[in-house]
Protein backbone atom coordinates (compact mmCIF):
# COMPACT_ATOMS: atom_id res chain seq x y z
CA UNK A 1 0.00 0.00 0.00
CA UNK A 2 2.87 2.33 0.80
CA UNK A 3 4.50 1.61 -2.56
CA UNK A 4 1.15 2.11 -4.35
CA UNK A 5 0.58 5.42 -2.55
CA UNK A 6 4.06 6.65 -3.51
CA UNK A 7 3.59 5.68 -7.17
CA UNK A 8 0.14 7.31 -7.28
CA UNK A 9 1.54 10.50 -5.80
CA UNK A 10 4.38 10.57 -8.32
CA UNK A 11 1.99 9.94 -11.21
CA UNK A 12 -0.38 12.70 -10.16
CA UNK A 13 2.53 15.09 -9.62
CA UNK A 14 3.88 14.49 -13.12
CA UNK A 15 0.55 14.12 -14.96
CA UNK A 16 -1.40 17.04 -13.51
CA UNK A 17 0.46 19.77 -15.45
CA UNK A 18 -0.04 17.83 -18.68
CA UNK A 19 -3.71 17.22 -17.91
CA UNK A 20 -4.16 20.90 -17.17
CA UNK A 21 -2.79 21.78 -20.62
CA UNK A 22 -4.73 19.15 -22.60
CA UNK A 23 -8.02 21.06 -22.87
CA UNK A 24 -6.26 24.10 -24.34
CA UNK A 25 -4.25 21.96 -26.74
CA UNK A 26 -7.33 19.98 -27.76
CA UNK A 27 -9.21 23.21 -28.41
CA UNK A 28 -6.38 24.46 -30.59
CA UNK A 29 -6.37 21.21 -32.58
CA UNK A 30 -10.11 21.42 -33.06
CA UNK A 31 -10.16 25.04 -34.17
CA UNK A 32 -6.90 25.05 -36.14
CA UNK A 33 -6.11 21.53 -37.32
CA UNK A 34 -3.03 20.92 -39.46
CA UNK A 35 -4.97 21.10 -42.78
CA UNK A 36 -3.72 21.40 -46.34
CA UNK A 37 -4.94 22.80 -49.65
CA UNK A 38 -5.28 20.63 -52.74
CA UNK A 39 -4.12 22.40 -55.91
CA UNK A 40 -5.78 21.54 -59.25
CA UNK A 41 -5.33 23.02 -62.71
CA UNK A 42 -7.78 23.65 -65.57
CA UNK A 43 -5.87 24.74 -68.64
CA UNK A 44 -7.11 24.73 -72.21
CA UNK A 45 -10.42 23.46 -73.54
CA UNK A 46 -12.69 21.80 -70.98
CA UNK A 47 -13.53 18.30 -72.18
CA UNK A 48 -14.13 14.80 -70.85
CA UNK A 49 -10.52 14.44 -69.68
CA UNK A 50 -10.77 17.68 -67.67
CA UNK A 51 -14.06 16.60 -66.11
CA UNK A 52 -12.60 13.21 -65.16
CA UNK A 53 -9.50 14.84 -63.62
CA UNK A 54 -11.48 17.38 -61.56
CA UNK A 55 -14.19 14.99 -60.36
CA UNK A 56 -11.73 12.28 -59.34
CA UNK A 57 -9.53 14.85 -57.57
CA UNK A 58 -12.49 16.26 -55.64
CA UNK A 59 -13.30 12.75 -54.41
CA UNK A 60 -9.80 12.54 -52.90
CA UNK A 61 -10.43 15.56 -50.68
CA UNK A 62 -10.99 14.46 -47.08
CA UNK A 63 -12.88 17.15 -45.09
CA UNK A 64 -10.97 16.09 -41.98
CA UNK A 65 -7.60 16.99 -43.47
CA UNK A 66 -8.37 19.31 -46.40
CA UNK A 67 -9.05 22.97 -45.68
CA UNK A 68 -9.85 23.93 -49.27
CA UNK A 69 -9.44 22.99 -52.92
CA UNK A 70 -7.88 25.60 -55.18
CA UNK A 71 -8.50 25.34 -58.94
CA UNK A 72 -6.24 27.50 -61.08
CA UNK A 73 -8.04 28.16 -64.34
CA UNK A 74 -7.19 29.46 -67.79
CA UNK A 75 -9.71 28.27 -70.39
CA UNK A 76 -11.46 29.50 -73.54
CA UNK A 77 -14.45 27.29 -72.70
CA UNK A 78 -15.40 23.75 -73.54
CA UNK A 79 -18.14 21.16 -73.77
CA UNK A 80 -21.40 21.76 -71.94
CA UNK A 81 -21.66 18.20 -70.60
CA UNK A 82 -18.14 18.27 -69.15
CA UNK A 83 -18.75 21.71 -67.60
CA UNK A 84 -21.96 20.59 -65.92
CA UNK A 85 -20.29 17.46 -64.56
CA UNK A 86 -17.59 19.60 -62.92
CA UNK A 87 -20.16 22.03 -61.50
CA UNK A 88 -22.20 19.21 -59.96
CA UNK A 89 -19.14 17.97 -58.09
CA UNK A 90 -18.22 21.47 -56.92
CA UNK A 91 -21.72 22.09 -55.54
CA UNK A 92 -21.76 18.73 -53.77
CA UNK A 93 -18.23 19.09 -52.40
CA UNK A 94 -17.97 19.07 -48.56
CA UNK A 95 -14.69 20.99 -48.95
CA UNK A 96 -14.68 24.65 -50.09
CA UNK A 97 -13.69 25.05 -53.74
CA UNK A 98 -11.88 28.26 -54.68
CA UNK A 99 -11.51 28.93 -58.41
CA UNK A 100 -8.67 31.31 -59.21
CA UNK A 101 -8.22 32.69 -62.73
CA UNK A 102 -4.45 33.06 -62.97
CA UNK A 103 -1.79 33.97 -63.90
CA UNK A 104 -2.15 37.40 -65.48
CA UNK A 105 -3.36 37.17 -69.05
CA UNK A 106 -5.54 34.15 -68.35
CA UNK A 107 -9.28 33.99 -68.92
CA UNK A 108 -12.38 32.16 -67.78
CA UNK A 109 -14.48 32.35 -70.93
CA UNK A 110 -17.68 30.49 -71.74
CA UNK A 111 -17.71 27.30 -69.61
CA UNK A 112 -15.07 28.82 -67.34
CA UNK A 113 -17.51 31.59 -66.34
CA UNK A 114 -20.10 29.04 -65.21
CA UNK A 115 -17.49 27.17 -63.13
CA UNK A 116 -16.35 30.45 -61.58
CA UNK A 117 -19.93 31.27 -60.59
CA UNK A 118 -20.43 27.79 -59.12
CA UNK A 119 -17.34 27.94 -56.89
CA UNK A 120 -17.58 28.82 -53.20
CA UNK A 121 -15.03 31.60 -53.72
CA UNK A 122 -14.34 33.22 -57.11
CA UNK A 123 -10.95 34.91 -57.44
CA UNK A 124 -9.01 36.45 -60.29
CA UNK A 125 -5.53 37.77 -60.82
CA UNK A 126 -5.01 41.26 -62.29
CA UNK A 127 -5.10 41.46 -66.11
CA UNK A 128 -7.48 38.49 -66.44
CA UNK A 129 -11.03 38.41 -67.76
CA UNK A 130 -14.19 36.33 -67.78
CA UNK A 131 -17.46 36.20 -69.70
CA UNK A 132 -18.65 35.46 -73.25
CA UNK A 133 -20.78 32.63 -71.91
CA UNK A 134 -23.15 32.39 -74.87
CA UNK A 135 -23.75 28.76 -75.96
CA UNK A 136 -21.36 28.24 -78.84
CA UNK A 137 -23.97 26.93 -81.28
CA UNK A 138 -25.58 30.38 -81.15
CA UNK A 139 -23.85 33.11 -83.08
CA UNK A 140 -22.90 35.91 -80.66
CA UNK A 141 -23.44 38.38 -83.48
CA UNK A 142 -27.13 37.54 -83.44
CA UNK A 143 -27.48 38.01 -79.69
CA UNK A 144 -26.73 41.66 -79.34
CA UNK A 145 -28.52 44.53 -80.97
CA UNK A 146 -32.05 43.88 -82.27
CA UNK A 147 -32.13 40.60 -80.36
CA UNK A 148 -35.60 39.81 -79.00
CA UNK A 149 -33.95 37.75 -76.30
CA UNK A 150 -32.49 40.94 -74.87
CA UNK A 151 -33.89 44.42 -74.38
CA UNK A 152 -35.29 45.76 -77.64
CA UNK A 153 -33.57 49.01 -78.66
CA UNK A 154 -35.53 52.16 -79.27
CA UNK A 155 -35.36 54.30 -82.40
CA UNK A 156 -36.03 57.98 -83.01
CA UNK A 157 -39.60 58.65 -84.15
CA UNK A 158 -38.59 61.95 -85.80
CA UNK A 159 -39.98 64.21 -83.13
CA UNK A 160 -37.42 63.59 -80.44
CA UNK A 161 -39.34 60.76 -78.86
CA UNK A 162 -38.44 57.11 -78.80
CA UNK A 163 -40.48 54.20 -80.02
CA UNK A 164 -39.77 50.53 -79.81
CA UNK A 165 -38.19 49.08 -82.89
CA UNK A 166 -40.43 46.41 -84.44
CA UNK A 167 -38.09 44.74 -86.89
CA UNK A 168 -36.41 41.55 -85.81
CA UNK A 169 -33.80 39.34 -87.34
CA UNK A 170 -35.68 36.36 -88.84
CA UNK A 171 -33.13 33.83 -87.59
CA UNK A 172 -33.58 34.90 -83.97
CA UNK A 173 -37.02 33.28 -83.87
CA UNK A 174 -35.49 29.83 -84.11
CA UNK A 175 -37.13 27.92 -81.22
CA UNK A 176 -34.02 25.79 -80.67
CA UNK A 177 -31.86 28.91 -80.24
CA UNK A 178 -34.28 30.41 -77.75
CA UNK A 179 -34.44 27.14 -75.87
CA UNK A 180 -30.65 26.92 -75.57
CA UNK A 181 -30.29 30.54 -74.47
CA UNK A 182 -33.07 30.40 -71.92
CA UNK A 183 -31.72 27.17 -70.47
CA UNK A 184 -28.23 28.65 -70.14
CA UNK A 185 -29.60 31.84 -68.57
CA UNK A 186 -31.62 29.92 -65.99
CA UNK A 187 -28.63 27.75 -65.17
CA UNK A 188 -26.13 30.57 -64.60
CA UNK A 189 -28.67 32.71 -62.71
CA UNK A 190 -29.28 29.78 -60.38
CA UNK A 191 -25.54 29.51 -59.73
CA UNK A 192 -25.28 33.27 -59.14
CA UNK A 193 -28.17 33.32 -56.67
CA UNK A 194 -26.80 30.30 -54.81
CA UNK A 195 -23.41 32.01 -54.30
CA UNK A 196 -24.80 35.54 -53.85
CA UNK A 197 -23.17 36.98 -56.96
CA UNK A 198 -24.37 39.37 -59.67
CA UNK A 199 -27.09 37.40 -61.50
CA UNK A 200 -28.03 40.22 -63.90
CA UNK A 201 -24.53 40.46 -65.36
CA UNK A 202 -24.40 36.65 -65.57
CA UNK A 203 -27.47 36.81 -67.79
CA UNK A 204 -25.80 39.45 -69.97
CA UNK A 205 -22.75 37.19 -70.32
CA UNK A 206 -25.05 34.53 -71.79
CA UNK A 207 -27.43 36.64 -73.86
CA UNK A 208 -25.01 39.20 -75.30
CA UNK A 209 -21.63 37.51 -74.73
CA UNK A 210 -20.55 40.26 -72.32
CA UNK A 211 -17.06 40.12 -70.79
CA UNK A 212 -15.42 41.81 -67.80
CA UNK A 213 -11.90 42.47 -66.59
CA UNK A 214 -10.96 41.35 -63.08
CA UNK A 215 -11.30 44.87 -61.66
CA UNK A 216 -14.74 45.40 -63.19
CA UNK A 217 -15.85 41.96 -62.08
CA UNK A 218 -14.96 42.79 -58.47
CA UNK A 219 -16.85 46.11 -58.63
CA UNK A 220 -19.96 44.47 -60.06
CA UNK A 221 -19.96 41.67 -57.49
CA UNK A 222 -19.21 38.95 -60.00
CA UNK A 223 -16.13 37.71 -58.11
CA UNK A 224 -15.04 37.86 -54.50
CA UNK A 225 -11.28 38.51 -54.56
CA UNK A 226 -8.53 39.96 -56.72
CA UNK A 227 -5.19 38.43 -55.70
CA UNK A 228 -1.73 38.97 -57.17
CA UNK A 229 -0.63 35.42 -56.45
CA UNK A 230 -1.50 32.43 -54.30
CA UNK A 231 0.16 33.84 -51.21
CA UNK A 232 -1.94 36.99 -51.51
CA UNK A 233 -5.02 34.85 -52.13
CA UNK A 234 -4.46 32.73 -49.00
CA UNK A 235 -3.91 35.88 -46.95
CA UNK A 236 -7.25 37.31 -48.09
CA UNK A 237 -9.05 34.01 -47.56
CA UNK A 238 -7.93 33.67 -43.94
CA UNK A 239 -10.92 34.11 -41.67
CA UNK A 240 -13.46 34.33 -44.50
CA UNK A 241 -16.70 32.42 -43.96
CA UNK A 242 -18.22 30.28 -46.70
CA UNK A 243 -21.41 28.25 -47.01
CA UNK A 244 -20.73 24.53 -47.34
CA UNK A 245 -23.85 22.45 -47.98
CA UNK A 246 -25.93 24.81 -45.86
CA UNK A 247 -23.38 25.15 -43.02
CA UNK A 248 -21.05 28.06 -42.37
CA UNK A 249 -17.33 27.35 -42.25
CA UNK A 250 -14.46 29.68 -41.44
CA UNK A 251 -11.36 29.29 -43.55
CA UNK A 252 -7.96 29.13 -41.85
CA UNK A 253 -5.33 29.61 -44.52
CA UNK A 254 -2.45 31.04 -42.52
CA UNK A 255 0.58 28.76 -42.97
CA UNK A 256 -1.51 26.34 -45.02
CA UNK A 257 0.34 23.46 -46.63
CA UNK A 258 -0.35 22.80 -50.31
CA UNK A 259 -0.45 19.57 -52.29
CA UNK A 260 -0.71 19.68 -56.06
CA UNK A 261 -2.60 16.86 -57.79
CA UNK A 262 -1.32 16.24 -61.31
CA UNK A 263 -3.35 14.40 -63.96
CA UNK A 264 -2.46 10.69 -63.85
CA UNK A 265 -1.94 8.33 -66.80
CA UNK A 266 -5.66 7.71 -67.11
CA UNK A 267 -6.39 11.42 -67.48
CA UNK A 268 -3.59 11.83 -70.00
CA UNK A 269 -4.77 8.83 -72.03
CA UNK A 270 -8.33 10.12 -71.94
CA UNK A 271 -7.12 13.56 -73.01
CA UNK A 272 -5.35 12.06 -76.02
CA UNK A 273 -8.06 9.73 -77.27
CA UNK A 274 -10.90 12.21 -76.68
CA UNK A 275 -9.23 14.70 -78.97
CA UNK A 276 -11.70 14.65 -81.90
CA UNK A 277 -8.89 14.34 -84.45
CA UNK A 278 -7.31 11.38 -82.62
CA UNK A 279 -10.68 9.67 -82.11
CA UNK A 280 -11.41 10.12 -85.84
CA UNK A 281 -8.06 8.59 -86.82
CA UNK A 282 -8.51 5.66 -84.40
CA UNK A 283 -11.97 4.97 -85.81
CA UNK A 284 -10.76 4.86 -89.41
CA UNK A 285 -7.70 2.72 -88.58
CA UNK A 286 -10.01 0.33 -86.75
CA UNK A 287 -12.38 0.08 -89.72
CA UNK A 288 -9.52 -0.41 -92.20
CA UNK A 289 -7.91 -3.08 -90.02
CA UNK A 290 -11.09 -5.12 -89.67
CA UNK A 291 -11.85 -4.89 -93.39
CA UNK A 292 -8.39 -6.18 -94.30
CA UNK A 293 -8.63 -8.94 -91.69
CA UNK A 294 -11.95 -10.12 -93.12
CA UNK A 295 -10.53 -9.91 -96.65
CA UNK A 296 -7.45 -11.96 -95.69
CA UNK A 297 -8.38 -14.25 -92.77
CA UNK A 298 -5.40 -15.31 -90.73
CA UNK A 299 -3.35 -12.14 -91.17
CA UNK A 300 -3.99 -11.46 -87.42
CA UNK A 301 -2.07 -8.16 -87.22
CA UNK A 302 -4.59 -5.97 -89.11
CA UNK A 303 -7.48 -7.43 -87.14
CA UNK A 304 -5.75 -7.05 -83.77
CA UNK A 305 -4.65 -3.46 -84.36
CA UNK A 306 -8.00 -2.60 -85.91
CA UNK A 307 -10.00 -4.01 -83.00
CA UNK A 308 -7.92 -2.14 -80.40
CA UNK A 309 -8.14 1.15 -82.30
CA UNK A 310 -11.88 0.78 -82.86
CA UNK A 311 -12.54 0.02 -79.18
CA UNK A 312 -10.54 3.09 -78.13
CA UNK A 313 -12.45 5.20 -80.66
CA UNK A 314 -15.80 3.91 -79.37
CA UNK A 315 -14.75 4.71 -75.80
CA UNK A 316 -13.85 8.25 -76.89
CA UNK A 317 -17.17 8.60 -78.75
CA UNK A 318 -18.96 7.59 -75.56
CA UNK A 319 -17.85 10.79 -73.84
CA UNK A 320 -17.83 13.06 -76.90
CA UNK A 321 -20.90 14.73 -78.42
CA UNK A 322 -21.10 12.40 -81.41
CA UNK A 323 -23.59 12.77 -84.25
CA UNK A 324 -24.41 9.15 -85.08
CA UNK A 325 -25.82 10.16 -88.43
CA UNK A 326 -22.29 11.28 -89.32
CA UNK A 327 -20.87 7.96 -88.15
CA UNK A 328 -23.42 6.08 -90.29
CA UNK A 329 -22.57 8.23 -93.33
CA UNK A 330 -18.86 7.40 -92.94
CA UNK A 331 -19.59 3.65 -92.85
CA UNK A 332 -21.97 3.99 -95.80
CA UNK A 333 -19.37 5.93 -97.77
CA UNK A 334 -16.75 3.24 -97.21
CA UNK A 335 -19.28 0.58 -98.26
CA UNK A 336 -20.03 2.47 -101.50
CA UNK A 337 -16.34 2.83 -102.32
CA UNK A 338 -15.82 -0.88 -101.67
CA UNK A 339 -18.79 -1.66 -103.93
CA UNK A 340 -17.15 0.44 -106.66
CA UNK A 341 -14.11 -1.86 -106.44
CA UNK A 342 -16.29 -5.00 -106.76
CA UNK A 343 -18.68 -3.75 -109.42
CA UNK A 344 -17.31 -0.75 -111.37
CA UNK A 345 -20.13 1.70 -112.10
CA UNK A 346 -18.24 4.35 -114.08
CA UNK A 347 -17.60 6.26 -110.84
CA UNK A 348 -21.18 6.63 -109.60
CA UNK A 349 -20.74 4.48 -106.49
CA UNK A 350 -17.24 5.87 -105.91
CA UNK A 351 -18.31 9.52 -106.08
CA UNK A 352 -21.32 8.80 -103.88
CA UNK A 353 -19.05 7.08 -101.38
CA UNK A 354 -16.62 9.99 -101.30
CA UNK A 355 -19.46 12.50 -100.80
CA UNK A 356 -21.00 10.40 -98.01
CA UNK A 357 -17.60 9.98 -96.33
CA UNK A 358 -16.84 13.72 -96.39
CA UNK A 359 -20.28 14.80 -95.12
CA UNK A 360 -20.19 12.22 -92.34
CA UNK A 361 -16.71 13.30 -91.25
CA UNK A 362 -17.71 16.97 -91.12
CA UNK A 363 -20.79 16.42 -88.96
CA UNK A 364 -19.33 13.59 -86.86
CA UNK A 365 -18.41 15.76 -83.84
CA UNK A 366 -21.56 17.65 -82.89
CA UNK A 367 -20.00 20.72 -81.27
CA UNK A 368 -18.93 24.15 -82.35
CA UNK A 369 -16.35 24.70 -79.60
CA UNK A 370 -13.33 26.38 -81.23
CA UNK A 371 -10.46 23.94 -81.54
CA UNK A 372 -12.65 20.99 -80.61
CA UNK A 373 -13.68 19.76 -84.04
CA UNK A 374 -12.12 17.61 -86.73
CA UNK A 375 -9.56 19.44 -88.84
CA UNK A 376 -10.68 19.87 -92.46
CA UNK A 377 -7.20 19.05 -93.72
CA UNK A 378 -7.34 15.74 -91.86
CA UNK A 379 -10.73 14.97 -93.41
CA UNK A 380 -9.42 15.79 -96.89
CA UNK A 381 -6.36 13.62 -96.40
CA UNK A 382 -8.29 10.59 -95.17
CA UNK A 383 -10.87 11.03 -97.93
CA UNK A 384 -8.14 10.75 -100.57
CA UNK A 385 -6.49 7.81 -98.78
CA UNK A 386 -9.81 5.99 -98.39
CA UNK A 387 -10.76 6.53 -102.03
CA UNK A 388 -7.41 5.27 -103.27
CA UNK A 389 -7.47 2.34 -100.87
CA UNK A 390 -10.95 1.04 -101.53
CA UNK A 391 -11.56 2.06 -105.14
CA UNK A 392 -8.14 1.63 -106.75
CA UNK A 393 -6.23 -0.79 -104.54
CA UNK A 394 -9.06 -3.19 -103.80
CA UNK A 395 -10.20 -2.91 -107.41
CA UNK A 396 -6.80 -4.04 -108.64
CA UNK A 397 -6.71 -6.84 -106.08
CA UNK A 398 -10.08 -8.25 -107.08
CA UNK A 399 -9.24 -7.88 -110.76
CA UNK A 400 -5.97 -9.77 -110.25
CA UNK A 401 -7.85 -12.64 -108.61
CA UNK A 402 -9.69 -13.25 -111.90
CA UNK A 403 -6.48 -13.57 -113.93
CA UNK A 404 -5.16 -17.06 -114.72
CA UNK A 405 -2.56 -18.56 -112.42
CA UNK A 406 0.99 -17.85 -113.66
CA UNK A 407 3.09 -19.70 -111.05
CA UNK A 408 2.97 -22.65 -108.71
CA UNK A 409 1.47 -26.11 -108.93
CA UNK A 410 -1.84 -24.92 -110.36
CA UNK A 411 -0.08 -23.22 -113.29
CA UNK A 412 1.65 -26.55 -114.28
CA UNK A 413 -1.66 -28.34 -114.84
CA UNK A 414 -2.51 -28.30 -118.54
CA UNK A 415 0.92 -26.97 -119.56
CA UNK A 416 2.80 -28.55 -122.49
CA UNK A 417 6.11 -30.44 -121.96
CA UNK A 418 8.63 -31.91 -124.43
CA UNK A 419 10.02 -35.44 -124.06
CA UNK A 420 13.82 -35.49 -123.80
CA UNK A 421 14.08 -39.26 -124.51
CA UNK A 422 12.14 -42.28 -125.54
CA UNK A 423 10.40 -44.10 -122.68
CA UNK A 424 7.46 -46.40 -122.18
CA UNK A 425 6.47 -45.62 -118.58
CA UNK A 426 8.84 -43.11 -117.00
CA UNK A 427 11.34 -40.66 -118.42
CA UNK A 428 12.48 -37.06 -118.43
CA UNK A 429 10.69 -34.05 -119.97
CA UNK A 430 11.39 -30.34 -120.33
CA UNK A 431 8.81 -27.76 -119.21
CA UNK A 432 9.35 -24.03 -118.59
CA UNK A 433 13.12 -24.58 -119.12
CA UNK A 434 13.08 -27.10 -116.26
CA UNK A 435 13.72 -30.87 -116.44
CA UNK A 436 11.15 -33.00 -114.63
CA UNK A 437 10.59 -36.73 -114.18
CA UNK A 438 7.44 -37.77 -116.01
CA UNK A 439 5.18 -40.81 -116.09
CA UNK A 440 2.88 -41.80 -118.93
CA UNK A 441 0.55 -44.76 -119.53
CA UNK A 442 1.51 -44.73 -123.24
CA UNK A 443 4.89 -45.05 -124.96
CA UNK A 444 6.59 -41.71 -125.62
CA UNK A 445 9.14 -40.78 -128.27
CA UNK A 446 11.89 -38.16 -127.96
CA UNK A 447 10.69 -34.67 -128.91
CA UNK A 448 7.02 -35.58 -128.55
CA UNK A 449 4.69 -32.95 -127.07
CA UNK A 450 3.09 -34.00 -123.81
CA UNK A 451 0.31 -32.43 -121.73
CA UNK A 452 0.57 -32.34 -117.94
CA UNK A 453 -2.50 -33.96 -116.38
CA UNK A 454 -1.45 -34.10 -112.73
CA UNK A 455 1.51 -33.82 -110.37
CA UNK A 456 2.55 -36.63 -108.04
CA UNK A 457 5.24 -35.24 -105.74
CA UNK A 458 8.10 -34.39 -108.08
CA UNK A 459 6.77 -36.48 -110.97
CA UNK A 460 4.52 -35.17 -113.71
CA UNK A 461 1.65 -37.32 -114.98
CA UNK A 462 1.57 -36.67 -118.74
CA UNK A 463 -0.27 -37.84 -121.83
CA UNK A 464 0.83 -37.49 -125.44
CA UNK A 465 -0.83 -34.55 -127.10
CA UNK A 466 -2.22 -36.62 -129.99
CA UNK A 467 -3.81 -39.14 -127.68
CA UNK A 468 -5.39 -36.31 -125.73
CA UNK A 469 -6.81 -34.90 -128.94
CA UNK A 470 -8.12 -38.33 -130.02
CA UNK A 471 -9.85 -38.85 -126.71
Are the CB atoms for 395 and 410 separated by under 8 Å? no
> How far is the C-alpha of 48 from the C-alpha of 319, rounded, in Å?
6
Name every residue whose Cβ is closer than 8 Å to that of residue 6 and which is 6 or more positions away in sequence: none
Q: Running DSSP on this structure, what letter comes out for residue 145?
A: T
Residue (of 79, 118, 113, 84) closest to 98 by Cα position: 118
Rg (CA), the chain: 39
CA distance 389 to 337: 9
Cα gap 467→42, rounded to integer Å: 88
- Hey, is 196 helix, strand or coil? coil
The pair phi, psi for residue 295, each rounded to 5°, is: -75, -30
Asked if 110 is an active-site residue, the reply is: yes
DSSP-assigned beta bridge partners for residue 212: 130
Beta strand pairing status for 225-226 and 121-124?
Answer: parallel
Out of 179, 219, 220, 399, which one is annotated catalytic? 179
Pairing of the two strands 247-250 and 426-431:
unpaired
Q: Cα dist. 458→412, 417, 425, 441, 446 in Å?
A: 12, 15, 15, 17, 21
Tell me if 144 sits within 8 A of 208, measured CB to CB.
yes
CA torsion angle for 291, 292, 293, 296 (degrees, to 10)? 130
249 is catalytic: no
Which candidate in 82, 93, 110, 208 is catalytic? 110
Q: What is the 3-state secondary structure (H, E, C) of 236-273?
A: HHCCCEEEECCEEEECCCCCCEEEECCCCHHHHHHHHH
What is the H or E stretch that residue 406 is in? none
The residues annotated as belonging to the active site are: 110, 179
Amino acid sequence: MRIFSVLLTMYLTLAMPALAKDPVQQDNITSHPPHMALMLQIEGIIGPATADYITRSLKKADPATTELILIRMDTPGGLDLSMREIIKKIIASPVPVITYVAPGGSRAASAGTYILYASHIAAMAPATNLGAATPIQMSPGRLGKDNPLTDKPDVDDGSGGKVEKKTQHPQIEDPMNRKMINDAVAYIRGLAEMRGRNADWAEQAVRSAASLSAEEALKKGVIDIIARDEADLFQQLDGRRVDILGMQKTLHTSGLLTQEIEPDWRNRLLEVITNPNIAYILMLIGIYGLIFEFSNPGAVLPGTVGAICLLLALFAFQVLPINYAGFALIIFGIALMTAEAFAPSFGVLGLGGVASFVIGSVILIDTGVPGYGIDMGLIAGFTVITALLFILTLGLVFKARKNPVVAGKEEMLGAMATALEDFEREGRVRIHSEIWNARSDRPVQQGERLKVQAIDGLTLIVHPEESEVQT
